[in-house]
Structure 1
Amino acid sequence: MDGKSNITRRRALLAGGGTVAFGGGVAYLASRSGSSDSEYVPATFHESDGTSGFGVELAGRPIAGERDATVDLYYWTDYLCPFCKKFETETLPQIGRNYLDTGDVRLVMLSYPNIGRYSMPASVWGRCVWAQAADTEPEAFWRWHGAAFDEQAESGTGWADEVTFAGVTEQTDGVDLAAVEDCRANRGESIRESISVDLETGRSAGLRGTPGFVIYNRQSDAAGKLVGAHPYENFADAIDQVLQS
């Protein structure tokens, strides 16, 4: 890594996002089984309206961590993305314990459907689960979220369909399948529009696939990005740089 040269202002990142990144590798240093025991359920959650200082729309997006955290970690994901699953099981739990649960970072989950034909419907399922659970039992969304990634097959995207996601929803405690189905039927179009906004914001930051991340200091306006699959050490280095900027 090239130290402080990897940090820029928000405006510069959006103007030339392809040149600003932390770390050099895009592969995990180690591979472990993606068991549900390693999935992360945040200690704190909240909803938010409006737009963040980076220009990310917040309404309706799952947010974990303290509302006044110094740094935002914007995470673009796709439930059909195998490297997203690796991030969820191998890296996110450590980020959660060391940065989200300490109040330093809040995680904003954004959609970037790009893997297969069911990527967009899967994103809508996730948004509707969050809408149903956010006010009363937000941790239920994270249980559903982890269970959805657990459904991934070893290869291919044919596993993702209506039956699979309905089954995950029905089997997740604290999530009401009927309410989620009502959301999909009556709010699906507006949610797809909001997902398109996420896609455009990610592309403006130079992201072309999943997983993709922007780390943004809300006080100093410093920002950097990580593209692709990285081990925890790369995230810790990047977050620390942005926190200190």
Structure 2
Amino acid sequence: MQQIPENRKPAPERGDKPGTRRKVPWLWVAPIPVALAIGLLIGAQLPVGDRAPGPEASSAAVQNPGSQTPGQDTDPPAPAFPDVARLEAQDPTALGDVDAPVVMVAFTDFQCPYCAKWTEGTLPELITKYVDQGKLRIEWRDLDLFGDASLTAAHAAQAAAMQGSYVPFHTRMAEGGTIAPGSAYSAKSLRATAEDLGLDGEQFLADMDSKQAKDAVKRNLDEAQELAVMSTPVFLINQMPFVGAQPLENFVAAIDAELQQAEAGQQ
């Protein structure tokens, strides 16, 4: 999991009056340390409780490079996060049916190495196995935790979304499972990338600087701040926290458990 550097933490006055701090609802903040600790356990297969998979899944603990281990010996109960899934049918930055039984909200940053690793190695499998089958919907929230390139990339992703190429842009900027260099976010390079994806390069640059793109990015940033998401990647799988670019099998176990619970609820 990539953590935000101290000198890049979002200013507390973002969107507020100078000298004030955004007030986060205490009912949201209270469970966050516990919830994140769960995701940081070795393997972090799933939160315990009704949504946990069988022993065969939870026993497959694997140290993954996208998370950290707090050294806890037991798994505390896992509170759910607020439901932040938007389920907007025309959301160009989402993938999958709005009525899919499982919704994953992905907080990512284009300058986060673990996010690039997840996009390259895990996302394609999730699309084939779940999204294309109508079982999973993924909604992205691009953040700007790691500098100007992150913010530029977030605006560029919105511009790509306006031409129906959000996911292709996302995957292009994570080719090889590594983050694109800062030079990839110059106007010249971005236009070339857009045109290579079959987009209108001039319109792409104009959309990047549009109020629509900037408002969309700010909405994502505000949501992340209210949830105290200060590192990436962080996923909410039907409101349950899942932290880090964990192995594919961990995501499969988590999604399968949610599908089983959804199916049981229909019986």
TM-score by length of 2: 0.64
* Cα distance, 1:56 vs structure 2: 4.2
Match 1:55 to one of 84, 91, 96 = 84
SS of equivalent residue, structure 1 residue 80: coil
Aligned: 1:74 with 2:116? no
From 157, 161, 170, the counterpart of 1:126: 157
Letter in 2 for 1:104: K
Shift of residue 15 of structure 1? 4.4
Q: 79-88 vs 55-64, which deviates more? A: 55-64
Question: Compared with structure 1, are the counterparts of its residues 162 and 95 closer, same or farther at alpha carbon in structure 2 (3 Å cutoff)?
Answer: same
Q: 1:168 aligns with which of 177, 193, 199?
A: 193
In structure 2, what is the equivalent of residue 98 of structure 1? 129
Q: How far 1:153 sits from its partner (Å)? A: 6.6
Cα distance in 1 between the residues matched to 2:180 and 2:142:
21
In the aligned structure 2, how far is the partner of 1:164 from the partner of 1:131? 19
User: Could you say if the C-alpha distance between residues 155 and 88 of structure 1 is closer, same or farther in structure 2, counting changes exceeding 3 Å?
Assistant: closer
For 2:176 and 2:250, the matched residues in 1 are separated by 27
Residue aligned with 1:83, SS: helix
Aligned residue in 1 for 2:203: 179
Could you give the per-residue CA deviations for residues 73-98 of structure 1, whole angstroms, max 9, x where no partner exists?
Answer: 11112222211111011111111111
How far apart in 2 are the matches of 1:14 and 1:240? 28
Identity %: 22
Q: Which runs of 5+ in 1 are unaligned?
A: 1-10, 29-52, 134-139, 217-222
> Equivalent residues in 2 for 1:122-161 (5 A)?
122-133=153-164, 140-150=165-175, 157=182, 159-161=184-186
- Structure 1 pair 210–61 and aligned structure 2 pair: CA distance change class (3 A): farther
Which amino acid is the alignment partner of residue 242 of structure 1?
Answer: E
Which of residues 247, 250, 265 is equivalent to 1:234?
Answer: 250
The answer on whether the counterparts of 2:106 and 2:235 sit within 8 Å (CA) in structure 1 is: yes
Secondary structure (helix, strand or coil) at the match of 1:110 reads: strand
Asked if residue 27 in structure 1 is aligned to residue 65 in structure 2, the reply is yes
Please report the TM-score for the alignment, with normalisation by the length of structure 1.
Answer: 0.69
Aligned CA RMSD, in angstroms, stands at 2.9
Distance 1:203 1:239 in 2: 26
Match in the other structure for 1:18:
33
Instruction: Measure how far apart 1:12 and its partner are.
Output: 7.0
Equivalent position SS for 2:148: coil
Q: Residue 117 of structure 2 is aligned with which of 86, 89, 101?
A: 86
For structure 2, which runs of at least 5 residues remain unmatched after alignment? 1-25, 45-62, 67-81, 262-267
What is the deviation of 1:72?
0.7
CA distance change for structure 1 residues 146 and 200 in 2, over 3 Å: closer, same or farther?
Answer: same
Tell me the amino acid that sits aligned with residue 112 of structure 2: C
Is the alpha carbon distance of 1:154 and 1:178 closer, same or farther for their aligned partners in structure 2, counting shifts above 3 Å? closer
Q: 1:209 to 1:161 in 2, by over 3 A?
A: farther
- What's 2:217 paired with? 195
Deviations 1:107-132 (CA, angstroms, capped at 9, x unpaired): 11111111221111111111011112
Count residues with an aligned counterpart.
Answer: 197
Q: Deviations over 1:197-216 (max 9, x none)?
A: 21232343342122111111
2:240 aligns with: 224
1:177 is matched by which residue type in structure 2?
A: G
Q: Equivalent residue for 1:39?
A: none
Rg larger in structure: 2
Question: Which AA in structure 2 matches 1:110?
Answer: R
Instruction: Tell me the SS of whatever aligns to 2:171.
Output: helix
One-letter amino acid of the counterpart of residue 55, structure 1: V
Matching residue's letter, 1:171: D
Q: How far off its partner does 1:151 sit? A: 8.7
